[in-house]
Amino acid sequence: MKNTRRRDTDLEVVLRRLLFAKGLRFRIDEKVLPDFNRRADLVFAASRVAVFVDGCFWHYCPIHRTQPRANSAWWLAKLRTNRRRDLDTNRRLKKAGWSVARVWGHEPAATAAARIVKTVRARLRRARPR
Protein backbone atom coordinates (compact mmCIF):
# COMPACT_ATOMS: atom_id res chain seq x y z
CA MET A 1 0.00 0.00 0.00
CA LYS A 2 2.96 2.33 0.54
CA ASN A 3 3.76 2.21 -3.17
CA THR A 4 0.25 3.23 -4.23
CA ARG A 5 0.33 6.83 -5.40
CA ARG A 6 -2.35 9.16 -4.11
CA ARG A 7 -1.97 11.50 -7.07
CA ASP A 8 -0.21 11.81 -10.42
CA THR A 9 -1.05 8.30 -11.55
CA ASP A 10 -0.40 7.53 -15.21
CA LEU A 11 -4.09 7.89 -16.08
CA GLU A 12 -4.39 11.19 -14.19
CA VAL A 13 -1.39 12.67 -15.99
CA VAL A 14 -2.63 11.63 -19.44
CA LEU A 15 -6.14 12.89 -18.63
CA ARG A 16 -4.79 16.25 -17.46
CA ARG A 17 -2.76 16.65 -20.66
CA LEU A 18 -5.78 15.90 -22.83
CA LEU A 19 -8.01 18.32 -20.90
CA PHE A 20 -5.38 21.06 -20.94
CA ALA A 21 -4.97 20.60 -24.71
CA LYS A 22 -8.74 21.15 -25.06
CA GLY A 23 -8.35 24.52 -23.32
CA LEU A 24 -9.69 23.54 -19.91
CA ARG A 25 -8.01 24.79 -16.76
CA PHE A 26 -8.36 23.06 -13.43
CA ARG A 27 -6.91 22.57 -9.99
CA ILE A 28 -5.23 19.33 -9.01
CA ASP A 29 -5.80 17.29 -5.82
CA GLU A 30 -8.05 19.87 -4.18
CA LYS A 31 -10.69 19.94 -1.49
CA VAL A 32 -13.99 20.74 -3.16
CA LEU A 33 -15.99 21.82 -0.13
CA PRO A 34 -14.24 23.64 2.73
CA ASP A 35 -15.86 21.60 5.52
CA PHE A 36 -15.58 18.27 3.71
CA ASN A 37 -12.30 16.39 4.10
CA ARG A 38 -12.23 14.65 0.72
CA ARG A 39 -10.20 15.72 -2.27
CA ALA A 40 -11.00 15.54 -5.96
CA ASP A 41 -8.28 14.67 -8.46
CA LEU A 42 -9.34 17.55 -10.74
CA VAL A 43 -11.52 20.51 -9.81
CA PHE A 44 -13.15 22.83 -12.33
CA ALA A 45 -14.29 25.56 -9.94
CA ALA A 46 -16.06 27.84 -12.43
CA SER A 47 -18.29 25.05 -13.72
CA ARG A 48 -18.43 23.25 -10.37
CA VAL A 49 -17.25 19.90 -11.74
CA ALA A 50 -15.21 17.52 -9.58
CA VAL A 51 -13.36 14.63 -11.23
CA PHE A 52 -12.21 11.52 -9.40
CA VAL A 53 -9.88 9.03 -11.10
CA ASP A 54 -10.61 5.71 -9.41
CA GLY A 55 -8.41 2.64 -9.58
CA CYS A 56 -10.36 -0.55 -10.22
CA PHE A 57 -8.99 -2.37 -7.18
CA TRP A 58 -9.20 0.35 -4.53
CA HIS A 59 -12.62 1.61 -5.55
CA TYR A 60 -14.16 -1.83 -6.12
CA CYS A 61 -14.90 -1.53 -9.83
CA PRO A 62 -18.04 -3.50 -10.77
CA ILE A 63 -16.24 -4.86 -13.85
CA HIS A 64 -12.75 -5.63 -12.56
CA ARG A 65 -13.10 -5.97 -8.82
CA THR A 66 -11.06 -8.69 -7.28
CA GLN A 67 -10.83 -9.94 -3.76
CA PRO A 68 -7.45 -10.85 -2.29
CA ARG A 69 -7.26 -14.36 -0.92
CA ALA A 70 -5.10 -13.47 2.07
CA ASN A 71 -7.09 -11.78 4.85
CA SER A 72 -10.10 -11.68 2.52
CA ALA A 73 -12.70 -10.67 5.13
CA TRP A 74 -10.71 -7.58 6.08
CA TRP A 75 -10.11 -6.64 2.44
CA LEU A 76 -13.74 -7.10 1.49
CA ALA A 77 -14.82 -4.80 4.32
CA LYS A 78 -12.15 -2.25 3.35
CA LEU A 79 -13.12 -2.21 -0.34
CA ARG A 80 -16.84 -1.97 0.42
CA THR A 81 -16.13 0.91 2.80
CA ASN A 82 -14.18 2.68 0.04
CA ARG A 83 -17.13 2.22 -2.33
CA ARG A 84 -19.62 3.55 0.24
CA ARG A 85 -17.38 6.58 0.83
CA ASP A 86 -17.28 7.27 -2.93
CA LEU A 87 -21.09 7.14 -3.11
CA ASP A 88 -21.35 9.42 -0.06
CA THR A 89 -18.92 11.87 -1.69
CA ASN A 90 -21.01 11.91 -4.87
CA ARG A 91 -24.20 12.52 -2.89
CA ARG A 92 -22.75 15.36 -0.81
CA LEU A 93 -21.18 17.14 -3.77
CA LYS A 94 -24.35 16.88 -5.86
CA LYS A 95 -26.35 18.25 -2.95
CA ALA A 96 -23.96 21.23 -2.87
CA GLY A 97 -24.53 21.88 -6.60
CA TRP A 98 -21.49 20.13 -8.04
CA SER A 99 -21.34 17.67 -10.91
CA VAL A 100 -19.23 14.60 -10.18
CA ALA A 101 -17.34 12.68 -12.86
CA ARG A 102 -15.82 9.32 -11.94
CA VAL A 103 -13.17 7.90 -14.26
CA TRP A 104 -12.36 4.22 -13.80
CA GLY A 105 -8.79 3.02 -14.18
CA HIS A 106 -9.81 0.85 -17.15
CA GLU A 107 -11.51 3.68 -19.05
CA PRO A 108 -9.58 5.07 -22.03
CA ALA A 109 -8.27 8.54 -21.21
CA ALA A 110 -9.58 10.02 -24.46
CA THR A 111 -13.10 8.77 -23.74
CA ALA A 112 -13.02 10.16 -20.21
CA ALA A 113 -11.60 13.48 -21.41
CA ALA A 114 -14.34 13.89 -24.02
CA ARG A 115 -17.00 13.22 -21.38
CA ILE A 116 -15.44 15.72 -18.96
CA VAL A 117 -15.04 18.42 -21.64
CA LYS A 118 -18.71 18.02 -22.57
CA THR A 119 -19.83 18.28 -18.93
CA VAL A 120 -17.63 21.28 -18.08
CA ARG A 121 -18.62 23.24 -21.19
CA ALA A 122 -22.32 22.49 -20.76
CA ARG A 123 -22.25 23.69 -17.14
CA LEU A 124 -20.35 26.84 -18.12
CA ARG A 125 -22.95 27.63 -20.83
CA ARG A 126 -25.77 27.23 -18.30
CA ALA A 127 -23.97 29.40 -15.74
CA ARG A 128 -23.42 32.36 -18.09
CA PRO A 129 -26.03 35.08 -18.01
CA ARG A 130 -27.72 35.66 -21.35
117 versus 54: the higher-pLDDT residue is 117
Question: Are 11 and 105 within 8 A, CB to CB?
Answer: yes
Q: Which CATH class is domain 10-117?
A: alpha beta
What DSSP character marks residue 100? E
pLDDT (0 to 100) of residue 63: 73
Report pLDDT digits (tens) over 32-83: 998 999 999 999 999 999 999 988 766 666 776 677 778 888 888 888 898 9
pLDDT (0 to 100) of residue 2: 46
Please give the Cα distance from 115 to 130 (Å, whole number): 25
Please give the Cα distance from 31 to 67 (Å, whole number): 30
Q: Residue 125: is its pLDDT beyond 50?
A: yes
Please give the Cα distance from 87 to 31 (Å, whole number): 17
Virtual torsion, Cα 26, 43, 58, 37, nearest 10 deg: 140
Average pLDDT, the chain: 88
Question: Are 27 and 122 within 8 A, CB to CB?
Answer: no
49: amino acid identity, one letter? V
Virtual torsion, Cα 104, 34, 125, 117, nearest 10 deg: -20
